[in-house]
């Protein structure tokens, strides 16, 4: 449970680990299969080579893309609806439209500026053509591509991966640009080069470049859009603003958005950044990729949502008409339910059936479920104290690293200024949050959940002998005081931890009282033994809507309603995870032998599923996933 929730949350918190941010910091290099086969003809694979740079590199505006009118024209000439249709042809028009991205933040996200606050480039080839004419790129009579007064052709190199999915929509985009008189030369490079540490994007080796970011609850974005994050040979290629976009207003506000803990201030700052982003067009956001689910037509309550990490957040609401059992098909079987070390998605889905999370994040926003409230600065649940720190104190430095304070270390002081520690003391911010669980949480054996269960979770999660490989939360914790008059704790972070998602629950629950087979209580078992304990890995006690009563390896996991669950009683008395093959998945659903297929079992919406939905046999759910496609624009030349 802890690794599932705590380390997911901390991956959002650590600004240096932006892959979970909506802007992301690490491109998505692993490509899922295309929904449709690639086009009949594609550009040959070409691996660009790196050119030498000089001491004054990247100060010359790109001769074509440095012109705002050209960038705006490319946006107007982009028909996002047709790009989406090329890879998701079976989706209805409304669902396709819901995937469109207008800025670097999904439209359903709490930080999205709103259509009325940004420049939206609706497809308008005529407007795009007019802008190109104005920029001096005209289309001669009988010509296919535009030229300028010097006779130079309007041609641009467009680099992306060789994945079939990208080849499909990239071919459509190439044709769209050709319709506006722009020649696009597609280069489908290997992902290893495109996403390499010293090649491709990292070295700004592109004119137009397509890849994806992964979106989550915290948009992040400072390393992508701040002026001081532009990678250059002179700064050792530090930063991820490979477009070279420097808008001082946007830069100031992206930093503010990532250095304030007040949500309204963050929304206001992100709005300004999105306004400037869409005005300047350093990138063309395209569309969210999808996650597909399918259920029996008579199953109710199933409701996957954008931004929600696990779709079974409301498993107690699932119900099959005329049946006392809901069957969920898994094409992958969990290896263990000790999710601290077994972090597979399917393991976490099974785990949260019996031990649900303490909060949800539907549409990328957070809501308390098993805690009484999320402790924010606004509601007083968190305080951000000014503290004096001296040499040797463990702090989070200005770059997000946990260090022992020493002369030469840069930190953010209490005024939000980056300063060098030279000795003596420095005043820094230190957050303290109080988390209190709701009343009535009870283990399936009738024992009330206690603060000791939270304390055990912290103990095991921070013990290297447990098998855990990540200790971010443990390293960032100064102290945890477990409550005696309630079930909960007071979490004190080390000075300098000022991450925006500070209000999410930190510690999960392990049943400290549980007696295992040899007579010891779980609290007395050393962390090194946990991974092999049946009571941990195979049949952990539940406090959620269901309890696990049987696990036949390779066949099924059987759950029954937990009579001690404090929440809404499970509508279905029984829930079964059936282990199936990928080849049989759709047939089993259509034959009524299983009731749910999730996004781990479905590559996308197939014609078979679409036809079955029209026939009324099943229902499908296609949600905007966190991953989104975009085309970045290189604004300067070497």
* pLDDT (tens digit per residue) in 506-521: 999 999 999 999 999 9
Report how far apart, in Å, the C-alpha atoms of 153 and of each of 27, 127, 183, 231, 526 are: 31, 20, 8, 29, 70
Cα–Cα–Cα angle for 222, 275, 212, rounded to 5 degrees = 55
Predicted TM-score (pTM) of this structure: 0.84
Other beta carbons within 10 Å of 334: 24
Q: Quick check: 385 and 428 in contact, CB under 8 A?
A: no
Alpha-carbon 487 to chain mean position? 31
DSSP 109: S
**Domain 298-366+542-616 falls in which CATH fold?**
D-Maltodextrin-Binding Protein; domain 2 (3.40.190)
Question: Rounded mean pLDDT of 252-266?
Answer: 92
pLDDT at 259: 84
| Selection from 36, 324, 319, 365 nearest residue 169 by Cα | 36
| Selection from 125, 121, 152 nearest residue 137 by Cα | 152
Report how far apart, in Å, the C-alpha atoms of 578 and of each of 26, 335, 615 are: 35, 14, 25
Task: Please report which confidence band the pLDDT of residue 396 belongs to, taking 50, 70 and 90 as the band edges.
Answer: very high
Beta-sheet strands, E only, within 341-482:
359-360, 367-368, 382-390, 394-396, 402-404, 410-412, 418-420, 425-436, 477-482
pLDDT at 53: 44
Residues 6+ apart with CB under 8 A from 618: 294, 295, 296, 297, 589, 590, 609, 612
Give strand pairing partners of 391. none
pLDDT at 625: 86
Q: Quick check: 306 and 623 in contact, CB under 8 A?
A: yes
- The pair of structure tokens assigned to 117 is 């606050």
Task: Please report which confidence band the pLDDT of residue 638 belongs to, taking 50, 70 and 90 as the band edges.
Answer: confident
pLDDT at 585: 96
| Selection from 293, 294, 291 nearest residue 590 by Cα | 294
| Selection from 335, 324, 328 nearest residue 304 by Cα | 328
Other beta carbons within 10 Å of 419: 15
- The pair of structure tokens assigned to 358 is 């303490």
Helix (H) or strand (E) holding 13: helix 8-13
At 538-559, the pLDDT tens digits run 999 999 999 999 999 999 999 9
Under DSSP, is residue 385 helix (H, G, I), strand (E, B) or coil?
A: strand
Residue with tokens 């779980």: 522
Q: What is the mean pLDDT of the chain?
A: 90
Crossing angle for the helix pair 263-280 and 248-257, to the nearest 10 degrees = 150
Residue, of 41 and 174, whose pLDDT is higher? 174
196-225 in b/e form (b: 16+ CB < 10 A) is beebbbbbbbbbbbbbbbbbbbbbbbbbbb
What would you report as the CA-atom Rg of the chain, rounded to the nearest whole angstrom?
26
Other beta carbons within 10 Å of 384: 15
Enumerate the domain spans of the chain.
13-29+57-287+627-637, 298-366+542-616, 373-436+445-535
What share of residues in the chain are helix, strand, coil (percent, to 5)?
30, 25, 50
Under DSSP, is residue 597 helix (H, G, I), strand (E, B) or coil?
A: strand
pLDDT at 283: 98
Cα–Cα–Cα angle for 242, 103, 85, rounded to 5 degrees = 105
Helix (H) or strand (E) holding 578: strand 574-579
Burial (CB count within 10 angstroms: exposed 0-12, middle 13-18, buried 19+), residue 424 = exposed
Task: Please report which confidence band the pLDDT of residue 322 belongs to, taking 50, 70 and 90 as the band edges.
Answer: very high
Share of the chain above pLDDT 70, in %: 91
Assigned CATH class of 13-29+57-287+627-637: alpha beta
Q: Is the model's pLDDT at 11 over the cut of 60?
A: no
């Amino acid at each position: 449970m802890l690794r599932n929730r705590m380390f997911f949350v901390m991956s959002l918190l650590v600004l240096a680990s932006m892959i979970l941010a909506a802007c992301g910091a690490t491109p998505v290099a692993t490509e899922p299969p295309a929904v449709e086969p690639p086009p009949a003809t594609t550009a040959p694979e070409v691996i660009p080579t790196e050119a030498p740079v000089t001491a004054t590199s990247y100060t010359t505006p790109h001769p074509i893309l440095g012109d705002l009118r050209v960038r705006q024209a490319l946006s107007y000439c982009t028909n996002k609806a047709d790009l989406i249709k090329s890879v998701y042809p079976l989706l209805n028009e409304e669902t396709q439209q819901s995937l469109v991205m207008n800025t670097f933040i999904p439209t359903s996200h709490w930080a999205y500026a709103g259509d009325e606050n940004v420049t939206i480039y609706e497809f308008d080839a005529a407007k795009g053509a007019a802008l190109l004419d104005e920029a001096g790129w005209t289309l001669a009579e009988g010509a296919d591509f535009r030229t300028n007064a010097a006779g130079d052709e309007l041609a641009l190199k467009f680099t992306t991966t060789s994945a079939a999915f990208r080849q499909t929509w990239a071919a459509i985009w190439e044709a769209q640009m050709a319709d506006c008189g722009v020649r696009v030369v597609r280069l489908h490079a290997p992902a290893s080069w495109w996403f390499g540490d010293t090649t491709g994007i990292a070295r700004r080796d592109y004119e137009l470049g397509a890849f994806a970011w992964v979106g989550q609850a915290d948009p992040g974005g400072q390393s992508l859009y701040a002026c001081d994050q532009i990678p250059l040979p002179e700064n050792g290629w530090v930063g991820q603003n490979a477009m070279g976009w420097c808008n001082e207003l946007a830069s100031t506000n992206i930093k503010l958005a990532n250095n304030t803990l007040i949500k309204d201030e963050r929304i206001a700052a992100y709005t300004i950044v999105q306004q400037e982003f869409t005005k300047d067009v350093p990138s063309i956001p395209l569309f969210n990729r999808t996650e597909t689910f399918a259920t029996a037509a008579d199953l109710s309550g199933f409701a996957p949502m954008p931004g929600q990490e696990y779709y079974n957040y409301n498993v107690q609401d699932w119900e099959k008409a005329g049946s006392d059992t809901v069957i969920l098909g898994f094409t992958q079987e969990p290896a263990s339910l000790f999710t601290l070390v077994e972090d597979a998605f399917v393991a976490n889905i099974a785990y949260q059936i019996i031990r649900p999370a303490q909060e949800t994040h539907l549409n990328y926003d957070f809501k308390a479920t098993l805690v009484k409230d999320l402790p924010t600065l606004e509601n007083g649940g968190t305080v951000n104290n000014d503290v004096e720190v001296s040499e040797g104190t463990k702090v989070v430095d200005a770059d997000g690293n946990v260090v022992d304070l020493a002369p030469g270390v840069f930190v953010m002081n209490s005024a939000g200024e980056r300063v060098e520690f030279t000795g003596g003391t420095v005043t820094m911010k230190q957050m303290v949050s109080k988390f209190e669980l709701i009343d009535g949480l009870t283990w399936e054996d009738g024992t009330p959940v206690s603060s000791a269960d939270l304390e055990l979770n912290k103990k095991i999660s921070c013990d290297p002998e447990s098998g855990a490989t990540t200790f971010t939360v443990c390293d960032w914790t100064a102290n945890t005081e477990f409550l005696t008059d309630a079930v909960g704790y007071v979490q004190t972070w080390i000075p300098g931890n000022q991450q925006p998602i500070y209000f999410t629950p930190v510690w999960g629950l392990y049943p400290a009282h549980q007696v295992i087979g040899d007579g010891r209580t779980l609290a007395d078992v050393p962390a090194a033994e946990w991974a092999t304990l049946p009571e941990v890995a195979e049949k952990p006690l539940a406090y959620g809507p269901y309890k696990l009563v049987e696990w036949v390896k390779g066949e099924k996991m059987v759950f029954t309603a937990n009579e001690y669950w404090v929440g809404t009683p499970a509508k279905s008395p029984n829930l079964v995870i059936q282990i199936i093959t990928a080849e049989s998945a759709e047939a089993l659903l259509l034959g009524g032998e299983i009731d749910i297929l999730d996004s781990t079992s479905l590559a996308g919406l197939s014609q078979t599923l679409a036809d079955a939905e029209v026939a009324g046999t099943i229902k499908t759910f296609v949600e905007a996933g966190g991953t989104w496609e975009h085309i970045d624009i290189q604004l300067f030349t070497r």
